[in-house]
Amino acid sequence: MLHGISRLYQQLLFLFLCSTIIISCSQSDTKKKETMQQTKSAPYKKPPSSFTDTLIIEGPAAVFFNSDTVQLQKIKAIIDQEIFESTMHDCFFQQRNAKQVLKKYWSHIRVIEASDKQFLLFLEKNQQRVYTNLNEINDMCGLILFKNGKTPEIADMMNIETALHNYFYE
């Protein structure tokens, strides 16, 4: 008889634990969906630059670009504050890291800042020209690599060492 009660107790305990796990898992999934919906923001188109100047670039170069102050104010008004701050934080540290890597290992590549320009004009030795309108790049910041004979390319600053090697050596 004692053995039967013990067995019944074990079955009830097992049933209770299983139902608790199922309920907690389903509630967790619902909470995740709610959190994801709250943090999602509508995609935005970067506002146009308040500058219309063109920067002319020759030879191998790493061109860092940032949105100007007016653009940043407009972007801040249309996206969540947390997303804006996070993106600005990422821009700062990714660009700082990329500049350190360029200075230490790629010192022969010229580093150029283009925060007050809208257009980039890349000149090749054969006088071929490649225009880039920074308003068409929907990122608040970035890095464009350029070398004669190759199309300018937006670099992945998270993997800057690989991006530099792949662009300048392949």
Block means of pLDDT (10 residues each) for the chain, 170 residues, are 63 69 64 47 69 88 93 90 93 97 96 91 87 90 93 95 94
Block residue for tokens 């308040």 = 50
Report pLDDT for 128.
Answer: 85
Report pLDDT for 159.
Answer: 95
Measured in whole angstroms, the distance separating CA 123 from the mean position of its chain's CA atoms is 28
Rounded (5°) CA angle 90-93-96: 140
Domain boundary assignment for the chain: 1-40, 54-169
